[in-house]
Amino acid sequence: MNPVRILVVDDSVVIRKLLSETLSGDRALEVVATASDGRIALAKIPLLKPDLITLDIEMPVMNGLETLAAVRKLYPKLPVIMFSTLTEHGAAATLDALSLGASDYATKPSNTGNPAVAIERIRAELIPKIKALCGVAPLKLLPLPGSRPVTKPRVRSNARIDIVAIGTSTGGPNALAEVLPRIANDFPVPIVVVQHMPPIFTRLLAERLASRSNIPVEEGSAGTILESGHAWIAPGNFHMTVIRAGTAARLNLNQGPTENSCRPAVDVLFRSVAAAFAANVLAVVMTGMGADGVLGSQQIRDAGGEVIIQDEASSVVWGMPGLVHASGLSDAAYPLDQLAPEITRRVLRSRGSHSRLDMKTYAASESSAK
């Protein structure tokens, strides 16, 4: 198989050199050219025909967002990974880029004066994303070690759903922007979410989702009592869990060891809702790279809860939902545009009430599920 051809676009000579040497050090990858601004990059694309672009956000002449918009217009299928700083401005610009069609993002090493640390960060964070987006060594969708593949349909518990837990990663911000704004403001249960993102990014993501949604969306904080019709996003660098507090349930945060190389981790959240709510859980695993969420989905299923996933065609990367499916832990798979109606349908059906939710949306979800 030919190596992935990469165009590196960054105004920093140091970063261009660092990325070129580190990425080309992997035999599956080849940096075919670099560019110091967007205008130069756009001129090189038709000549070099790269398989993927890494794109800086802040550049002279033509910045990353302007360049991305032009790339998407001319090359709508070309994968683009934004390379952004771990700052408030960098996080906001990255979310703008994702909404404009960037495939994914990676954060720049905070201290490029330490080459060894910077190289390791690129190897750990950027290279796996490049390979996932370009189909290099595609994930073998075999059951995860430790999971127990299901060989026959289980008997449904038909328990009332009292909480919805969502896990997502690569492609997740846009997927959440499709799902949460379509949840009605009198949704009868709370929603808890893990999106793999660093600090600052998760707060800004929650704020953006809140501005577009009928329900309140916030970054989770320790001690918060869960309320119906409200969603919480796990904060970057913290695991978020749900624990019982008498008749109520509340959020807890911790900085325990990473799981699946992630903090927050979907498995941590899913385990906690299984322990706190047993069969009264609906879990949703959406687009994402890696295996986070598989073992947590198994615990939810073992407790009698339901697990649904985003389908392969609508996922940016079908790693997380694909492994849940391969392990036999998914009750059903749905395209992204059907997830919100399906979540609503399952919650209302389990609770025996249609409340005041949008009946057109409910009827459409019933029709599409048949």
- Predicted confidence (pLDDT) per residue in 10-61, tens digit: 999 999 999 999 999 999 999 999 999 999 999 999 999 999 999 999 999 9
The pLDDT value recorded for residue 142 is 55
Q: Which ranges of 1-37 would DSSP assign to H, the alpha helix?
A: 13-24
Provide mean pLDDT across the span 52-72: 96
CA count, 13 A, side-chain hemisphere, 193: 26
The pLDDT value recorded for residue 280 is 96
* Percent of the chain with pLDDT strictly greater than 90: 80
Question: How far apart, in whole angstroms, are the C-alpha atoms of residue 249 and residue 254?
Answer: 16
Contacts of 244 (CB under 8 A, 6+ apart): 276
Provide mean pLDDT across the span 168-188: 97
The pLDDT value recorded for residue 245 is 81
Indicate if 163-369 has the same CATH topology as 4-134: yes
Question: How many other C-beta atoms can be found within 10 angstroms of the C-beta atom of residue 146?
Answer: 10
The pLDDT value recorded for residue 203 is 97
Tell me: domain 4-134, CATH 3.40.50.720, correct? no
The pLDDT value recorded for residue 246 is 82
- What's the pLDDT band for 112 if we cut at 50, 70, 90? low
Q: Which of 51, 56, 292, 358 is catalytic?
A: 292
The pLDDT value recorded for residue 187 is 97
- What's the pLDDT band for 141 if we cut at 50, 70, 90? low
The pLDDT value recorded for residue 148 is 57
Asked about 196 being catalytic, the answer comes back as yes
Name the residue among 127, 124, 76, 122 with its Cα closest to residue 103. 76
Provide mean pLDDT across the span 118-138: 88
Question: How many other C-beta atoms can be found within 10 angstroms of the C-beta atom of residue 108?
Answer: 23
CA count, 13 A, side-chain hemisphere, 253: 17
**Contact predicate 250/225, CB 8 Å:** yes
pLDDT at 152 over 80: no
Domain range list for the chain: 4-134, 163-369
Residue recorded with tokens 């599920």: 369
Question: How far apart, in whole angstroms, are the C-alpha atoms of residue 316 and residue 293?
Answer: 17
pLDDT at 108 over 90: no
Q: Which of 37, 196, 272, 350 is catalytic?
A: 196
Q: Which of 20, 36, 147, 169 is catalytic?
A: 169
pLDDT at 204 over 80: yes
Name the residue among 357, 296, 286, 292 with its Cα closest to residue 321. 286
- Predicted confidence (pLDDT) per residue in 156-172, tens digit: 567 999 999 999 999 99
Topology, domain 163-369:
Rossmann fold (3.40.50)
For residue 38 the two structure tokens come to 């967007």
Q: Which ranges of 186-319 would DSSP assign to H, the alpha helix?
A: 201-212, 266-277, 294-302
- Predicted confidence (pLDDT) per residue in 76-89, tens digit: 999 999 998 888 99
The pTM (predicted TM-score) of the whole model is 0.90
| SS3 of residue 297 by DSSP | helix
The pLDDT value recorded for residue 143 is 56
The pLDDT value recorded for residue 369 is 39
The mean predicted confidence, pLDDT, of the chain is 90
pLDDT at 190 over 70: yes
Q: Which ranges of the chain would DSSP assign to H, the alpha helix?
A: 13-24, 38-48, 64-74, 88-99, 115-121, 127-134, 172-179, 201-212, 266-277, 294-302, 320-326, 336-351, 359-369
Question: How far apart, in whole angstroms, are the C-alpha atoms of residue 102 and residue 161?
Answer: 35
Asked about 292 being catalytic, the answer comes back as yes
pLDDT at 343 over 70: yes
Question: How far apart, in whole angstroms, are the C-alpha atoms of residue 16 and residue 39?
Answer: 16
- Predicted confidence (pLDDT) per residue in 205-253, tens digit: 999 999 999 999 999 999 999 999 999 999 999 999 999 988 899 999 9
